[in-house]
Structure 1
Amino acid sequence: MQPLCSTNVSISANDERFDGLLRLIGRHFALTAVLVTGTGSARRILASSALGELQRAQIVEAEDASETLHPGPGQQTSPPGSSPQLIAHYPLASQGRRLGALYLLDSRPRELDAGQRQALQDFATLALDLLTREADDAQQRHEIAALRESERRMALAIAGSGTGIWDRNVATGEIHYSSGWKALLGYAEHEIGNRIEESYTRVHPADLDYVRATIQAHLDQRTAAYEVEHRLRCRDGQYKWVCSRGKVVERDKQGRPLRMIGTTTDITAMRRLSEQVQQSVALMTDLTNEIPGMVFQYRRQAGGASAFTYVSAGAQAVCGLSAMQLMEDAQALANIVHPDDRQAFIDSFARSAEDLLPWHLEFRVQVPGREITWCQGEARPRREENGSVTWYGFLTDVTERKQIEAELQAFATTDFLTQLANRRHFMRQLEAELARLQRNPEQSAAILMFDLDYFKTINDRWGHNVGDQALRHFAGILRSQLRKTDTAGRLGGEEFAVVLSEANLDKAMHFATRIQQELARAAIQHAGESIYLAVSVGISLLDAGDASVEAALSRSDIALYCAKRGGRNRIEHH
């Protein structure tokens, strides 16, 4: 007998023990050939030297076809055209796992007796043991190779990540560093000792207590792991920021730490970037907080929910709410908007979100315990990928500006002495009333012109100060009789005019009569003397067909002239 091996036999398949077992089986049964196959492994054939090459090839063919043969000891199967003949087949399986099969082949057909079948079972048990060992060895070799490949990948990853490894014997105070750890700080292999005391000398003095306390907390099992960012001195004397992480991997029965393993990673670049970001954030925060106004970022979700995602400290001065209050509840701002402006405030954001046009609005806020504040808001919207809209904007207190504007408006439209509308503003209001009538011809309005009687005599007898007092006195009476829709103005000197909206001739006559009655009842007091005023009045109706307000005003002026000529303190209409 001599071994005949196929080309897919592994090195371990030619183990002398296996070959010896095959020779023993061949001699015991006086066989031409013994065949053992392994699933996913090698096939082994031991054949008689008397067989020619053709017969050896046929043995291999028989083995390839053996899966179709009946796998029972003592069974004979003779595949057509094959030689030698298969006289016995025994499956080799362990714990439900098929490892291979044992085949007995001979040049002549024959049948095994009971003793030979028992022997075949014993030999199969030995073959199964060898196959099991080989399978286990192969699995172990595979796992070792995979582990080495994993270690290689890990080493490459660590080498490229700026990370070093350290291993500390807590009991002896020894600490060993990887080459990468030493290179991290610019040291050669022999330039760093293995004592923990020496390692602490490289820690920045400002970080040393913190590092020691963090390590001790983990050694005392107060933390699950050790992790700290600190500075380490390099070989050139410069300091690097590192992140050290570690964990105790061995403790004695009393829980005392024995061994601790960890890593050190260079985070200098990351730390610098973080510091730059923090500086930028601090600068932006300082800028927005120092600006006299409220800088904000406001976001409205597609579903309608909204929130302030950033508010500067100026919110307190502008609207009486802290930045935290607004970020916790965006509705808080809408709640303090003046009721007359609140709907416009809400609608303005809705329009801006829909059209993505800049938000601009002036509105009033009413905070309990404070005067009404005028605010001006400016913001630009941006549509986000999730459908929400974010505004980046600014809110500022414009109360002083609005007051100045109101004063300028009053200065431009009001007569300084009487605080009634000046001639220009009155004419503008009169034109607006005519435009209203032209849009609604069925409505009406009246124009009344007043001229204080004997005003020159008052100036000549009591002086211009009393004359000014008389003008103010008359203006006060006019104001007291006006409705919100009416307008009174001083046209010049002692001449005044009133436009009564939604008034006919009768209403205008009643109004003029009340003015005369009030003048007759309320005198001016000067130097213990009562001075009574009288006034002449001319009335005309404003007509939608008037080409201009001057035409209607001219009719009132004519009626006033008639009242003067008729004896003064009279009311005439055109």
Structure 2
Amino acid sequence: MTVSSSMPEAVPPISVAGCAAAREPAAEPGGPLRSHDHAFSLAAGHAPMDPLIDGLLRLVAAHFGVAAACIVPGEAPAERGPAAGVDETLHEALRALAHGCDAGREREPLIVPDIFADPAWRNVLAHASKPLRFVAAWPLYGAQGEHVGSLCLIDPEPRELDAASRANLGDFARVVAALAVRPTLATNRDLAVSAADEPALHAGLEALREHERLLAHAIAGSGTGIWDRDVVTGEIRYSVGWKAILGYAEHELTSRIEDSYLRLHPDDREYVLAAMQAHFEGRTPVYEVEHRIRCKDGRYKWICSRGKVMSRDAQGRALRMIGTTTDITSMREMAERLRESATLVTNLTNEVPGLVFQRRQLPGGRAFFSYASAGIAEIYELTPEQAAHDTACIDALIHPDDLDAWRASFEHSAASLTPWHLEFRVQLPQQGLRWRQGDARPQRLADGTTVWHGFITDVTERKRIEAELQEFASTDGLTRLANRRHFMARVESQLAHVRHGGTGAAVMMCDLDHFKSINDRWGHAIGDDVLRHFAEILRTQLRAGDMAGRIGGEEFAVLLAAADLEGAQSVARRVQERFAEQPLGVEGDVVALTVSIGITLMHAADMSAQAALTRSDFALYRAKKGGRNRIECA
């Protein structure tokens, strides 16, 4: 707060344009000045006071709770003497005050919180008939920006004006200037206000009062306090709200800046002082820091202090600084909880085997992973940064046979907003061919972007086990050919193809001749070798799309896709020849081998796959009955 420390040497005569105070009983002549003492009321020379200005000044005095509010002209005829009720000493002092508040280059108000504490002012007012302790003056300016006077506050008790009060005093001064300074304060005619102006003036005053109420509520409700620092003297004054932040009553804090440094957290002190010095030196436009400060009970709170140097001397050195302090403890605690939550989520997603991701697809089609956990290194052998621009690097790793399905699955999920699910293969530089499974749920943003939150995991081992289980469920354990159930399912599928106009197919039934004798002579182990030997011969004679299966015991069936009867007979003869030409060697001896075969064609009129199998079985029966090692058709 700006405080006068000296009086001008030459003080010209003063005339008072107007003053008013709250209406109270008059004080005894020469007695002590009371707050709102009407005996102290000043008038403009001996001319009657304009009622509107008189009411306005009473409002100002009541608002600030001072003894009187005065309008003091900046220029006045030398011959005009003191106003009625004002002794010459006070007259001269107020005149000096009126000139002094326009002396600074910042055109700031001149405020003397305690006249007794200032030797220059105390000496000047020592012989005044009314004791004064507090004086404040806010400059008034005319239409051309010229200084035409001051709005003054005077009181018998010392007091301070915080930043909010100063702002209010400035608002009142602008209203007083608009009302009274037209263009000078010299005549009653210039002070006159038309009846038409009165509603506007009252509206302006009400707006000022409402502004003050809102400002006070806003400051009180925001956990914010105000401070005002005299950089030269090291004095810093705090608002009641500022002190309340730290749990102090109004009278419990000193105004020395050195004491405020002691309340800083030791770990923050150097940082705060450096930020303050940087602003003093003009290296930062404002002072703004977040730091911890010790409260009355010894605990530390987090606060945000913001301030700005309001005036500097001719050399640019900081003179005065005003700022605010806001309690941000709850925000810091919330931020810390959010940080801990984010850390927990990140740790969890990074430790879970697999890739936790957020995938975005923009309306234009560009897709990228806006979040990818550390698992992307395992799943794709990539880093999160590589996938953050687009998904081209991932598309390049998808197995070519699965790439279309990969792209189509996301397009379908985006179009229908249905969950995304896909099992696909990737070909990785280090891991080679691997299986992946992805699951995610999409949502549409307001701008048309589709966002998936999901998880991709390695299912290579599961797919291997599934393949083994599938093989166990569909394969004969001894010969590794299809078992009866799997073979019949394939025949049913082929029959459906034939019924829909597809190419025909042939079914062969094969039975090993004299197999019981082989088991009886050589044993069941050799019998198993014979079965495996015949199965391998079948495999060598089949084309892509054909299937051989073990139906039971020594019986085998073969499905020849897209084959007619002649083609099926040709395959049957080759099988017989290879089987006979490649006997099984056993302990220096050989096992002679032959096979009987029955053939039939599948028909669209067949009721089921079993119908074709039954016909080929009848043909096999005829081959066995006809002497074995034969081929019969049905």
User: How is 1:465-480 mapped onto 2 (pairs within 5 angstroms)?
Assistant: 465-480=525-540
Q: Please, which of 238, 245, 248 is the counterpart of residue 177 of structure 1?
A: 238
User: How is 1:258-269 mapped onto 2 (pairs within 5 angstroms)?
Assistant: 258-269=319-330
Are positions 1:481 and 2:532 aligned together?
Answer: no
Are positions 1:196 and 2:242 aligned together?
Answer: no
Matched-pair contact (CA < 8 Å) for 1:486–1:498: yes
Matched-pair contact (CA < 8 Å) for 1:167–1:260: yes
Question: Structure 1 residues 481 and 242, CA, compared in 2 at 3 Å: closer, same or farther?
Answer: same
Identity of aligned residues (%): 56
TM superposition score normalised by structure 2:
0.64
User: How is 1:97-112 mapped onto 2 (pairs within 5 angstroms)?
Assistant: none
Cα distance in 1 for partners of 2:391, 2:460 equals: 23
Question: Structure 1 residues 131 and 556, CA, compared in 2 at 3 Å: closer, same or farther?
Answer: closer
Give the letter for the 2:563 counterpart.
A
Report SS of the residue matched to 1:432. helix
Question: Structure 1 residues 397 and 131, CA, compared in 2 at 3 Å: closer, same or farther?
Answer: closer
User: How is 1:186-265 mapped onto 2 (pairs within 5 angstroms)?
Assistant: 186-251=247-312, 256-265=317-326
- Please name the residue that 1:553 is paired with: 613
Are positions 1:519 and 2:579 aligned together?
Answer: yes
Are positions 1:568 and 2:628 aligned together?
Answer: yes
TM superposition score normalised by structure 1:
0.70
Report SS of the residue matched to 1:336. coil
Cα distance in 2 for partners of 1:173, 1:481 equals: 105
Cα distance in 1 for partners of 2:382, 2:287 equals: 43
* Worse-matched range after superposition: 492-501 or 369-378: 369-378
Cα distance in 2 for partners of 1:497, 1:325 equals: 54
Residue 359 of structure 1 deviates from its aligned partner by 2.2
Question: Structure 1 residues 218 and 528, CA, compared in 2 at 3 Å: closer, same or farther?
Answer: farther
Residue 131 of structure 1 deviates from its aligned partner by 6.0
Matched-pair contact (CA < 8 Å) for 2:366–2:390: no
* Worse-matched range after superposition: 420-429 or 520-529: 520-529
Question: Structure 1 residues 495 and 186, CA, compared in 2 at 3 Å: closer, same or farther?
Answer: same
Residue 531 of structure 1 deviates from its aligned partner by 4.7
Report SS of the residue matched to 2:251. helix
Residue 402 of structure 1 deviates from its aligned partner by 1.8
Are positions 1:507 and 2:567 aligned together?
Answer: yes
User: How is 1:418-457 mapped onto 2 (pairs within 5 angstroms)?
Assistant: 418-440=479-501, 443-457=503-517
Cα distance in 2 for partners of 1:254, 1:525 equals: 115
- Please name the residue that 1:374 is paired with: 435
User: How is 1:78-117 mapped onto 2 (pairs within 5 angstroms)?
Assistant: none
Cα distance in 1 for partners of 2:315, 2:586 equals: 109
Residue 373 of structure 1 deviates from its aligned partner by 2.5
Residue 267 of structure 1 deviates from its aligned partner by 1.0
> Greater share of helix residues, 1 or 2?
1
- Please name the residue that 2:184 is paired with: 133
Residue 407 of structure 1 deviates from its aligned partner by 1.2
1:369-409 CA distances to partner (integer Å, 9 max, x unpaired)? 22322222222222333333333322222222222221111
- Please name the residue that 1:407 is paired with: 468
Report SS of the residue matched to 1:372. strand
Give the letter for the 2:615 counterpart.
R
- Please name the residue that 2:152 is paired with: none
Residue 340 of structure 1 deviates from its aligned partner by 1.7
- Please name the residue that 1:51 is paired with: none
User: How is 1:144-163 mapped onto 2 (pairs within 5 angstroms)?
Assistant: 154=215, 157-163=218-224
- Please name the residue that 1:64 is paired with: none
- Please name the residue that 1:272 is paired with: 333
Are positions 1:294 and 2:294 aligned together?
Answer: no
Residue 155 of structure 1 deviates from its aligned partner by 5.2
Matched-pair contact (CA < 8 Å) for 2:361–2:367: yes
Question: Structure 1 residues 138 and 205, CA, compared in 2 at 3 Å: closer, same or farther?
Answer: farther
Report SS of the residue matched to 2:418. coil
Cα distance in 2 for partners of 1:156, 1:206 equals: 34
- Please name the residue that 1:490 is paired with: 550
Question: Structure 1 residues 390 and 226, CA, compared in 2 at 3 Å: closer, same or farther?
Answer: same
Cα distance in 2 for partners of 1:370, 1:287 equals: 24
Report SS of the residue matched to 1:366. strand
Residue 228 of structure 1 deviates from its aligned partner by 1.7
Give the letter for the 2:601 counterpart.
L
Report SS of the residue matched to 1:329. coil
Give the letter for the 2:598 counterpart.
G
Residue 478 of structure 1 deviates from its aligned partner by 1.4
Report SS of the residue matched to 1:190. coil
Q: How many residues align?
A: 449
Report SS of the residue matched to 1:379. strand
Question: Structure 1 residues 240 and 499, CA, compared in 2 at 3 Å: closer, same or farther?
Answer: same
Are positions 1:336 and 2:336 aligned together?
Answer: no
Report SS of the residue matched to 2:264. coil
Residue 547 of structure 1 deviates from its aligned partner by 1.7
Matched-pair contact (CA < 8 Å) for 2:293–2:301: yes
Question: Structure 1 residues 232 and 436, CA, compared in 2 at 3 Å: closer, same or farther?
Answer: same
Are positions 1:281 and 2:342 aligned together?
Answer: yes
Matched-pair contact (CA < 8 Å) for 2:231–2:319: yes
Give the letter for the 1:192 counterpart.
L
Cα distance in 1 for partners of 2:356, 2:397 equals: 18
Which ranges in structure 2 are unaligned for 5 or more consecutive residues? Answer: 1-49, 55-142, 145-180, 194-200
Give the letter for the 1:133 counterpart.
T
Give the letter for the 2:340 counterpart.
Q
Question: Structure 1 residues 541 and 218, CA, compared in 2 at 3 Å: closer, same or farther?
Answer: same
Matched-pair contact (CA < 8 Å) for 1:308–1:330: yes
Are positions 1:385 and 2:436 aligned together?
Answer: no
- Please name the residue that 1:316 is paired with: 377
Matched-pair contact (CA < 8 Å) for 2:182–2:191: no
Give the letter for the 1:472 counterpart.
R
1:495-539 CA distances to partner (integer Å, 9 max, x unpaired)? 111000100011111212222333344444444555553322221
Are positions 1:349 and 2:410 aligned together?
Answer: yes
1:282-328 CA distances to partner (integer Å, 9 max, x unpaired)? 33333333333323333333343333333333333233333333232
Report SS of the residue matched to 1:546. coil
Which ranges in structure 1 are unaligned for 5 or more consecutive residues? Answer: 1-7, 13-93, 96-129
Question: Structure 1 residues 181 and 556, CA, compared in 2 at 3 Å: closer, same or farther?
Answer: same
Cα distance in 2 for partners of 1:217, 1:496 equals: 94
Matched-pair contact (CA < 8 Å) for 1:519–1:532: no
Residue 343 of structure 1 deviates from its aligned partner by 1.6
- Please name the residue that 2:19 is paired with: none
- Please name the residue that 1:540 is paired with: 600
Report SS of the residue matched to 2:557. strand
Cα distance in 1 for partners of 2:478, 2:314 equals: 102
* Worse-matched range after superposition: 146-155 or 318-327: 146-155
Cα distance in 2 for partners of 1:570, 1:536 equals: 5
Cα distance in 1 for partners of 2:345, 2:463 equals: 29
